[in-house]
Structure 1
């Protein structure tokens, strides 16, 4: 007995993404940065990113949710207290890559990205969402910035020394 094929709704009936997202630079106290490789675009490395689930979702909750979904890291746990997640008060508005515009409502071409930093222990377990990411790597912050495909992600990582706990502005 075989199972029926899953029913995938046509693109027109799928919910569209909200063009407001978070970028979470996950790093160690030594400024090693966690990067993850996209499953839908092998060779594209990035920090954790994700859109709000609904327009009223608090950005901090979006960041916590996306970190857990994409890496298995739980903010608010014994290993990663809530205070380890910091809003950098940085907003980027960028043009959505054409390859991903079909996920948004017709006519949406730009996204507003809110940048957060998350300090974690170097030995924290990382469990990737296999449908979203292929592998992860811990890299010194400058190398991580060089590997990112997204200019706003690379710029955020280059700002890490200024935003990390104990950093001086």
Structure 2
């Protein structure tokens, strides 16, 4: 029996105080760069999902840094190539946006089965490089909030 993913996920934009953004290149789709993402497990809170996904994908313990739930949700159509991961008939996902500020030079240990590599980019370049429109929007929104403070 297949364990399907819940159509609820987190997007965690990891950044430094000077708005360098961490991006990861997907192993299942080379050339697709993104922030940390992942589906919620049953009985997990969204914050627990964000902490788990950040640790699984980067090795960073998000509980030791400033993890912020932006209280923003995006609903989007799941790419056709990834729908098999969800229950039959599920076509849309609700994504919850978080940010995580970490010190510059934080070591990154990517999950090789999920990602090919990582890069740190200034926020403008990162927003242009990600494949997901909601990811680009989250990076731009984060930059506007932090530069306004």
The answer, yes or no, to whether TM exceeds 0.5 is yes
The TM-score normalised by the length of structure 1 is 0.85
Bigger-Rg structure (1/2): 1
Runs of 4+ in 1 over 3 A off after TM superposition: none
Instruction: Report the secondary structure of 1:61's partner residue.
Output: helix
TM-score (norm 2): 0.96
Report the structure, 1 or 2, having the larger strand content: 2
| The structure with more helix, counted as a fraction of residues | 2
Q: CA deviation at 1:167?
A: 4.1
Note the 1:120-135 alignment, pairs <5 A.
120-135=102-117
SS at match of 1:76: helix
Aligned residues: 149
| Per-residue Cα deviation, 1:76-131 (whole angstroms, up to 9, x for no partner) | 23xx3xxx000111100000000100000000000000000000011100000000
Where do 5+ consecutive residues of structure 2 fail to align?
none
RMSD: 1.1
Gaps spanning 5+ residues in structure 1: where? 1-12
1:119 to 101, 126, 134: 101
**In 1, Cα distance between the equivalents of 2:61 and 2:129?**
25
